[in-house]
Structure 1
Amino acid sequence: MLITNIEGFNLSSPLERPFGWSNGWISARVVGLLKIETDEGITGWGEGYVGARGDFVKQLFGDLLIGADPLNRNALWQGMFDRVYNGNNAGGFGGSAISAVDIALWDIAGKAAGQSVSDLLGGRIRDKVAVYATGLYYTEGEFPTRLLDEATMYVELGFKGMKTKIGAAHP
């Protein structure tokens, strides 16, 4: 099996009401998705930075990945890391691009083996995991009343923990 194509997609959905967090204010939810195709018709999907036009991963790693065996994940990961590490780009955009590829390669491996990725990684060790509520973003003109109402709602729903945003000046 060989990698034949890499394609990135940027998805964006405007928010009805912008919100703030410790890094500022946002008016849309944005995510980058990466699609890696193989000559056997198996497609893997990953999430991470794909660039403004969706071609960042292909530009950065295309010559390393296209034509390579997608099941040779360790060698491919090391090659990608070596490429961005020397340029001090292993964190940020470079690291996020590696993550997108890595996720897509694991997706391909699981599909090729007919197994879940958790089984490929050694199997599940539990049937349930604890979850917490993520929210409590700042919104214009609602500080702190709406945040208190939202936190109360999470408690009433049974969450044992919450992740809140701190550090930014509220409006």
Structure 2
Amino acid sequence: MSRVAKIETYTLTLPRDGETLYLGDQKSGESENARGYFVRKGNRTVYPTVDRSILLRLETTDGIVAWGETYGLVAPRATMALIDDFLADFVIGRDPFDAAVIHEDLYNMMRVRGYNGGFYLDALAAIDIALWDAAGKVAGLPVAKLLGGRRHDEVSGYVSGLPGATLEERAGLAKSWQEKGFNRFKFAAPQADEDLGQEMDSLRTTLGKDAKIACDMHWTNSSAEAIAKIKSMEPYGLWFAEAPVDPEDVKGLARVAAGVGCPIGVGEEWRTVYDAQLRIDAQGVDIVQPEMGHTGITQFMRIGQAAQSRNLKILPHATIGSGVFLAASLQASSALENVVGHEFQHTVLKRSSSLVTNGVVCEEGMFRISDTPGIGLEPTEETISKLEK
């Protein structure tokens, strides 16, 4: 029987250029500090000046190598230390097919100490993805088959992020992707300097009546402010509004959902089904957006199943990384009935073809789901050469 023999973590740091800036160039007053971090004024959130994720390499007793990935944008060595100095020894010797049980064991070890989010759950996500990848490789099956079966051979992608200094540039960028076969888009409110209604008007005029257009509001509003802004966009056919209020403001989220006419999407910051259930029970969400880099496959599926039990739509989030946790997200998404699409960050995905084998493919607006065992890809030699302990 295959058992986990070794776990190692690495950082993968990738420089940004003009094509990999989700929120565009740094603006006045957003200078980085000595550690290379800066705060975006538009959403009050800290970012590094590079893209950075954590890759986890898992090796089994029979020589199978599997991979996991999680966020490493801020203080990556905190997450790595949790794995290297603490969690790995509780996973070595375990059966990869017990991935969900292992996840529960690791979560239970620290739940009474309040470690139900942040770096700790990100560490668990990387381990969990690697365990599922290993199990799929041992079985010779794609992960979707281990999750109960594949419902989707392909999943519709939506273009996320329209960086550009002017409204005209952002609309032009959206049009260029429409010409490549995409017809669903999401713009980021912090990047839109103009009135959000004006932003929607410009995009609708450029993209036509059939395009779906959403707005990511980046958790920056009170419920009253969010309702007013959403109502200003609704006349232009707003597809959905994402993250309208602070993540902690569950009652405010419910007020927004009840006070507007378009769907509300949330979930990229969630780590567990407990986060999801709180918002679902409050009737504050119409579209659930789990992020594989924070949840891992086990919690991603539990969040998705909780959404399905209430007939909510699932539209997974996906952002930085080499492509490893994006591939895992697509495998899990293909096994969930209520998935209606998946985020496509063109500013990140373009480079994945050189970072992973069987690179994640999204053409003419559709992600193709890999049939390769495990999550469906491997880091390339180029990626491995960039890994740092």
Q: TM-score range by the shorter chain?
A: 0.7 to 0.9
| Mapped pair 1:52 → 2:77 | yes
1:127 pairs with 2:186: no
In 2, the alpha carbon distance for the partners of 1:167 and 1:117 equals 36
Is the contact between residue 7 and residue 55 of structure 1 (CA under 8 Å) also seen in structure 2? no
Provide Cα deviations, 1:56-112, integer angstroms capped at 9, x if missing partner.
312231221122222222321111111232222222211111111111000110011
Q: CA deviation at 1:160?
A: 2.0
- In 2, Cα distance between equivalents of 1:74 and 1:25: 32
> Partner of 2:188: helix, strand, or coil?
coil
Equivalent residue, structure 1, for 2:169: 146
Residue 63 of structure 1 aligns with which residue? Answer: 89
In structure 2, how many angstroms separate the alpha carbons of the residues matched to 1:49 and 1:86? Answer: 24
How many angstroms apart in 2 are the aligned matches of 1:16 and 1:131? 23
Report the equivalent of 2:7. Answer: 6
For the 8 Å contact 2:52–2:71, the answer to whether it is kept is no
In 2, distance between residues paired with 1:91 and 1:137?
30
Question: 2:247 aligns to what?
Answer: none
The answer to whether 1:75 aligns with 2:101 is yes
- How far apart are 1:168 and its partner, in Å? 6.2
Match of 1:96 in 2: 122
SS state of the match for residue 153, structure 1?
A: helix
| Structure 1: gaps (5+ residues) | none
- The residue matched to 2:190 in structure 1 has which SS? coil
Q: Percent identity?
A: 31
Amino acid across the alignment from 1:2: R
How many residues matched?
A: 167
Cα 1:92–1:169 shift into 2, 3 Å = farther
AA aligned to 2:97 is L
Gaps of 5+ in 2: 24-42, 194-389
Question: Residue 113 of structure 1 corresponds to which residue in structure 2?
Answer: 139
Amino acid at match of 1:9: Y
1:161 and 2:161 correspond: no
Equivalent residue for 1:39?
61
Higher relative contact order (CA 8 A, sep 6+): 1
The answer (yes or no) to whether the contact 1:19–1:27 under 8 Å persists in 2 is: no
Query: 2:96 aligns to what SS in structure 1?
Result: coil
Task: Return the offset for 1:20.
Answer: 6.0
Contact 1:15 1:29 in 2 (8 A): yes
- Say if 1:44 and 1:107, in contact at 8 Å, map to a contact too: yes
Are the equivalent residues in 1 in contact too, given 2:56–2:130 (CA < 8 A)?
yes
Q: Using the alignment, how far apart are the partners of 2:110 and 2:186 within structure 1?
A: 32
Amino acid in the other structure paired with 1:151 = A
Q: What secondary structure does 1:132 align onto? A: strand
Q: Tell me, in whole angstroms, the C-alpha distance in 2 between the residues paired with 1:20 and 1:77.
A: 32
Q: What is the TM-score normalised by the length of structure 2?
A: 0.39
Letter in 2 for 1:157: K
Q: Is the contact between residue 32 and residue 48 of structure 1 (CA under 8 Å) also seen in structure 2? A: yes
Cα 1:26/1:79, change in 2 over 3 Å: same
Aligned-partner SS, 2:95: coil
Q: Which amino acid aligns with 1:125?
A: R
Distance in 1 between residues matched to 2:89 and 2:107, nearest whole Å: 14
Cα separation, partners in 2 of 1:20 and 1:44, compared to 1, 3 Å:
closer
Q: CA deviation at 1:145?
A: 3.4
